Amino acid sequence: MSVAALAPALADAARVVSRVAAGRSLTEELDNAERSTTRAALLDLTHGTLRRFGRVQAMVRELSHRGTPDALVEALLWCSLYALESGRYASYTVVDQAVRACGLLEKWNAKGYVNALLRASLRERSSLEARMAGDAEARYQHPAWWIDTLRRAYPDGWQSVLAAGNSHPPMCLRVNRRRASVESYCARLAEAGIGARVLGGAAVLIERPLAVDQVPGFHAGDVSVQDAGAQRAAACLDLHEGQRVLDACAAPGGKSAHLLETADLDLTALDADAARLTRLEHNLERLSLRATVRQADCTRLADWWSGEPLDRILADVPCSASGIARRRPDLKWLRRAQDLASFATRQGAILDALWQALRANGKLLYATCSVFPQENDAVIDAFIARQAGARRLSLPDGGEAQWLPNAEHDGFFYALIEKAA
């Protein structure tokens, strides 16, 4: 990106981030954002700022000598401070372009203030760090309640989970083994000069993330983009040919497709969101896979269930998404501590409803992309306590129920439950 393009990029990013700070979804705001800058620049500035949100907020608080600034000006400062620390631009360029961005935002009176605060951040770096040293949100760049919850859950590993949440997410591919072997596809990547390594199963980790248009065979259905943690679902559901299977919260369809790539199934893909179901149908079409796709709330059995018991159910339930916070950095700032109890209530209701549709000796796989025990083991323990015929099994892939995010995969939880005859 040219130096001259940084000012409009900062202005656009400030507009988006200010609305996220007010409670809006980053995904929706990016979809609605004006296209005056390149998509790559907007994604970098918004995601980078929100990954460091606790830090840049604290910096503005420490450096501002005139109280809390206008919301849009404050967002511009957050984005500019991220740009300064990213190392992508010369410091003087960021300061100059941030001042220019004030005009683009029609905040002309803020030019002197923005200039002074950004220069102070450079001049007072050592003392600024010392002043923020005791601020947990500034240090770990997560809300205080989130930090405390992880500290209690993982006394020996909570800092690693937080660090992963601030990192750039890995890019993993799922090879469609109906079309190619993992080995042959890796050879194809090597021929294209794309570094990669096998993680196990159908998962291939790309060394440097790239656009899907650059992924060999993506549009032909040879491969999909899916995190290695998400790929565990197919291995843990204990699938066999011809089974009647439900993916209860299926959109946008990554796990549904993987189930169908694993075995010939009579699969119903269910979701309450019509727009997301459209994406699911496009994914299945790209991969030349077939499923019965239905729009319905999975807890309302009369709306979708014929009454014929199911062999397998995948319940990839709505959750805090705390295990994928680095992919959606706005979530950790939009969530509240009390949300965990609300999610747990909804998750329990989904389990209770779906249990009725499972046949005797059938198996249900509960899945979340959360790292909070309140949504995981606590929900499963409570469910088994109230369902006499429910028995928790070891996972077929031999792994732990809870995967924490790291350099290879996101954070996911799985629990396999069998229904007694």
As annotated, the active-site residues are: 369
Residue ranges and CATH numbers for the domains of the chain are 3-141 (1.10.940.10), 143-168+229-421 (3.40.50.150), 171-226 (3.30.70.1170)
pLDDT in tens, 42-51: 999 999 999 9
Residue holding tokens 């890995």? 170
SS3 299: coil
Q: Report residue 2 CA to chain centroid gap.
A: 30
pLDDT at 69: 86
pLDDT at 67: 76
Q: Considering only CA atoms, which of 68, 55, 91, 75 is closest in space to residue 10?
A: 75
- φ/ψ of 215, rounded to 5, equals -85, 115
The pLDDT value recorded for residue 381 is 98
Q: Sheet containing 196-200: which strands, arranged edge to edge?
A: 196-200, 203-206, 171-175, 223-225
Query: What is residue 35's predicted lDDT score, i.e. its pLDDT?
Result: 61
Q: Which of 376, 363, 319 is nearest to 342 (CA)?
A: 319
3-state helix, strand, coil in the chain (%, to 5): 50, 15, 35
Percent of the chain clearing pLDDT 70 (strictly above): 98
Residue 270's beta-bridge partner residues?
A: 294
Determine the pLDDT at residue 68.
80
pLDDT the model gives residue 3: 63
Nearest CA among 108, 110, 114 for reference residue 95 = 114
Closest CA to 44 of 75, 77, 5, 9: 9
Quick: pLDDT tens for 140-199. Answer: 999 999 999 999 999 999 999 999 999 999 999 999 999 999 999 999 999 999 999 999
The whole-angstrom separation of Cα 220 and Cα 179 is 10
d(CA 373, CA 404): 12
pLDDT at 36: 59
Judge contact between 20 and 50, C-beta under 8 A.
Answer: yes
**What's the average pLDDT block by block, 10 residues per block, for the chain (421 residues)?**
80 96 91 73 94 95 87 97 94 96 96 97 94 94 97 97 95 96 97 96 96 95 98 97 97 97 97 94 96 97 96 98 95 96 98 98 98 98 96 96 98 98 82
Cα 33 from Cα 12, distance rounded (Å): 7
CA dist 225 and 50 (Å) reads: 24
For 10-67, how does the pLDDT look when each residue is reduced to its tens digit (9 = 90+)? Answer: 999 999 999 999 999 998 888 877 665 688 889 999 999 999 999 999 999 999 987 7
90 SS3 class: coil
Rounded CA-CA distance 370/368 in Å is: 5
6-21 and 39-51 helices, crossing angle to 10°? 50
